Structure 1
């Protein structure tokens, strides 16, 4: 796995700063890497996000290899290559419009007015940057969250509460 997906003690600060660069921008498109198993869409993992603005400006959000953290940078999403597990059993990914899939196309061309990091701490352990919450000028919010090796998105909803997990929304780490 590339170092892009490797966690480190100091990278959460930079990842949140990168995500906060969305502030004040108008969303052009929000793409994601949709997973397919034997050509059937698997809704359990939303994959990486690619926020697009203007001509060529973008920000990617993705899961880190520790199974709990997220990252953000200014590189295009690296959609995984398709592969066969055995003959006629394939895993593949397709880049798709996330907002269309979530019936939230009204967020296209809206201004982003808040970006927060989601810090999770389990049973008092060191907090991890587990996700991002992006709020639009419409009052709508989108949460991108690492939920146990799966990337999930919540529109205008909070993630479920887990026993022993403390969650905080922050603007700096």
Structure 2
């Protein structure tokens, strides 16, 4: 992490590229996300962390970084926080949602990861800081899945374009 004007931000990190790059050519066998639940009601705004399982049981998880802008890729399974009570009437919990059971994502089952692209957010001049705010993953059947940080909320898109931002320029960079 680097400090910029008293704020901590995650710089673009090549080790995340290496982790994602190691999955190219592997078959997707599982896709799950964490779902925040407050008093029995699911949060439909934040998509939560996203776990990919590949044919050799390799698991990676994409998650929002604590800087509020970046996305991290880490080796390992989805990790759900322990449930807790805020008070006698307020309960917080998390569940894992199998996205391959949802009809919209079922098309990705057994697809082979063909390419991965870094989604970069660039702040305008004079700052011009760049942060990796997400990943765009392309599968062998042409399907594209994008996971990105939209403020404080994770967003998962399937065959959809990242909405334009009035605050920053959005760039898609191929990994080399």
1:101 Cα offset (Å)? 3.6
Match for residue 124 of structure 2? 123
Runs of 5+ consecutive residues of structure 2 not aligned to the other structure:
1-7
Match for residue 30 of structure 1? 31
1:102 Cα offset (Å)? 5.9
1 or 2, which has the higher strand percentage? 2
Instruction: Provide closer, same or farther for how the CA distance between residues 52 and 143 of structure 1 changes in structure 2, counting only shifts above 3 A.
Output: same
Using the alignment, how far apart are the partners of 2:39 and 2:56 within structure 1?
35
| Structure 1: 4+ residue segments shifted above 6 A | none
Match for residue 139 of structure 1? 142
**1:149 is the counterpart of 2:114:** no
Paired residue secondary structure (1:18): helix
Match for residue 4 of structure 2? none
Using the alignment, how far apart are the partners of 2:92 and 2:103 within structure 1?
22
Paired residue secondary structure (2:48): coil
> Could you tell me whether the CA contact under 8 Å between 2:10 and 2:70 is conserved in 1?
no
Match for residue 52 of structure 1? 53
> Could you tell me whether the CA contact under 8 Å between 2:116 and 2:175 is conserved in 1?
no
Q: TM-score, normalised by structure 1?
A: 0.88
> Could you tell me whether the CA contact under 8 Å between 1:131 and 1:146 is conserved in 2?
yes
Using the alignment, how far apart are the partners of 1:160 and 1:55 within structure 2?
34
Match for residue 87 of structure 2? 86
Paired residue secondary structure (1:128): strand
| Bigger Rg over Cα | 2
Paired residue secondary structure (1:106): helix
Give the number of aligned pairs.
Answer: 167
Q: TM-score, normalised by structure 2?
A: 0.87
Instruction: Provide closer, same or farther for how the CA distance between residues 41 and 164 of structure 1 changes in structure 2, counting only shifts above 3 A.
Output: closer
> Could you tell me whether the CA contact under 8 Å between 1:12 and 1:71 is conserved in 2?
no
Describe how 1:16-27 pairs up with structure 2 within 5 A.
16-27=17-28
1:113 Cα offset (Å)? 0.7
**1:69 is the counterpart of 2:70:** yes
Paired residue secondary structure (2:62): strand
Instruction: Provide closer, same or farther for how the CA distance between residues 154 and 38 of structure 1 changes in structure 2, counting only shifts above 3 A.
Output: same
What's the RMSD between the two structures over aligned residues? Answer: 1.8
**1:160 is the counterpart of 2:163:** yes
